[in-house]
Amino acid sequence: MRLANKTALITGGTSGIGLATAKLFLTEGARVAVTGRNETVFGQIIAELGNEALVLKGDVRSIDDMRAVARQVKERFGGLDVVFANAGHAFPSPINDIDDTLYDDIMDINVKGTVVTLQAVLPDLREGASFIMNTSFVAQTGKHGISLTAAAKASLRSLARSWSFEFLDRKIRFNAIAPGAIDTPLTSKWGMRPQDLLSMKSELAKSIPVGRLGTAEDIAHAALYLASDESSYVVGTELVVDGGASQL
């Protein structure tokens, strides 16, 4: 029970990486709250996580939403030991495709969303808490056609350093996880035809040194390490979990 007696909030915990992390944290003894915007899936998520978990509606871009989330978590569980600021938006963005909507979606959900999440939970973070950001392997190297997502994720990597310094007195650790190409529902939101999506995934898998896409569980295990006291000496860093894609 690596998270016994700990309370964790996972934003974007109703799908993919966030949902897998919520399941793992629960099996490791944590009290878990997850958030998402689409309430129609909440019944299914409660069925998967069990009644002990809290499933809350909130857009990470809205301070009112996130303060309401923080209030409900506090009422149910008390203070917070772990926050996985996981909610994010990744979308192809060749320079000529970037318009106001795409720019605002990518920058606001990733960057503003993480800033707002921290602002909302700050009063409830216990001394020694772990705050984990979700970045991406696309920010580790130059990549074609996804510059805006890479720039947003690079901002988060920087915030992990700055905030670790800013909150040294409260012993709050900020770290990031940079997932590689992970097989989650995320890319199904890109509007591709199913057969094109499948062939894109298969080509991508061949380009990864270990020969496969990552799973949401691969990232959940990295989050577990950063959430647990085993990583108490790990501060302001970014853990790349990408099958070697950006490293080899």
Considering the complex, what minimum distance in angstroms separates the CB of residue 40 from ligand NAP?
9
Q: Is 186 in the site for ligand NAP (CB under 6 A)?
A: yes
Smallest separation (angstroms) from ligand NAP to the CB of 127: 27
Residue of 1, 27, 29, 38 that binds ligand NAP (CB under 6 A): 38
Per CB under 6 A, 185 contacts ligand NAP: yes
Edge-to-edge, what's the strand order for the sheet holding 125-134? 54-57, 31-36, 7-10, 80-85, 125-134, 173-179, 238-241
Q: Is 181 near ligand NAP (CB under 6 A)?
A: yes
Q: What is the DSSP string of 189-228?
A: GG---HHHHHHHHHHHHHHSTTSS-B-HHHHHHHHHHHHS
Q: Which residues contact 29 (CB under 8 A, 6 or more apart)?
A: 1, 2, 3, 4, 5, 6
Of 151-180, which residues contact ligand NAP (CB under 6 A)? 179
Strand duo 7-10 + 80-85: pairing? parallel
> Which residues have C-beta within 8 Å of that of residue 233, sequence separation ≥ 6?
none
Q: Which residue in 217, 220, 212 sits closest to 181, CA to CA?
A: 212
- Is 90 a binding residue for ligand NAP by CB under 6 A? The answer is yes
Place of tokens 């853990």: 239
To ligand NAP, the closest distance from the beta carbon of 234 in angstroms equals 19
243 binds ligand NAP (CB under 6 A): no
Judged by CB, which is closer to ligand NAP: 129, or 245? 245
State yes or no: residue 60 binds ligand NAP (CB under 6 A): yes
Is 35 a binding residue for ligand NAP by CB under 6 A? The answer is yes
Tokens standing for 178? 């940079």
136 binds ligand NAP (CB under 6 A): yes
Binding residues (CB under 6 A) for ligand NAP: these are 11-12, 14-18, 35-38, 59-61, 86-90, 109, 113, 134, 136, 179, 181-182, 184-186
